Amino acid sequence: MATGNAAYDFGMFEPKRREEREPVRENNVIELPRERLEENRRPKHHLLKMLPTILSFLVIAGMSGAYIYGQVQLSELSDSLGIVADELSEDQSVYTQLKMNLEAQTSLEAVENYATNRLGMEKVSQKQIENVALSSGDKTQVLLPVTDTGWFSRLVHSVSRFLS
């Protein structure tokens, strides 16, 4: 068999590897004349294409402004309502206090004290009572002006006098 120190290089029989390289790209840059290049660089603004965007922006801005304005008005009205409610409660307490003072001043006891102390009046006694006799034949009569308005009104008037 194998005697000796002979060595074999089996790598010589293997296919050689190629180094991987990136594929070379073709240059696909199109050169344009300077006039067309300037024409393509300028942005083209078409009013008809921008009109819906502008209108939608204005509508949204208007709705936002109306909402904010309404909230500000609501806040101001709430503040003024709170102030008026406070004033109302203060005025109601003053009214209650004044009503109690008035009732205290116009009570029967207060009137009696005022009449006795200030005016010098006394309570009713028998010596102050006087009887007055009236004749029993007094009668009163109310005269209405006679207006001649027609036979129908006279008939209605006579019926109403008869029924009363």
State pTM to two decimals. Answer: 0.38
d(CA 132, CA 134): 7
The one-letter amino acid code at 136 reads S
d(CA 159, CA 151): 12
| pLDDT tens digits for range 97-133 | 999 998 888 888 888 888 899 988 888 887 777 777 7
**Site of tokens 């660089």:** 41
**Site of tokens 């293997």:** 14
For 142, half-sphere exposure in the C-beta direction (CA atoms, 13 angstrom radius) is 1
* CB-based contact 80:74 (threshold 8 Å): no
| pLDDT tens digits for range 33-52 | 777 777 777 677 777 888 99
